[in-house]
Amino acid sequence: MTPQQVRRCLGRRVFWRGKEYTFTGCILRLVKGDFVYQAEITEYRENMTSIYITSLDEIEEA
């Protein structure tokens, strides 16, 4: 996923490592003088909710 796709995908289904998640946020960080985009994805299960932070590049649109 690119930064340009973020607004369109927020709150929607995305895929990471072959599993389906909900794209819940985008984080912009400054690391050693470079901007780095990270994705916040959420997995909703019966008794539990898990939140993952990963590189935006690893996320695929559904």
Q: What is the CATH number of the domain that holds 14?
A: 2.40.10
Tens digit of pLDDT for each residue in 26-36? Answer: 999 999 999 99
- Provide the 10 A C-beta neighbour count for residue 21: 22
Mean pLDDT along residues 46-59: 96
* Token reading at 25: 């946020």
Residues shown for the chain? 62
DSSP bridge partners of 28: 37
User: Which three-class secondary structure state does DSSP give residue 51?
Assistant: strand
Residues of the chain with pLDDT > 70, as a percent, come to 100
Sign, CA dihedral 23-28-29-35, equals: positive
Count of domains for the chain: 1
pLDDT at 26: 97
pLDDT at 35: 95
pTM for this predicted structure: 0.90
Read off the pLDDT band of 16 (50, 70, 90).
Answer: very high
Q: Which domain holds residue 38?
A: 3-61
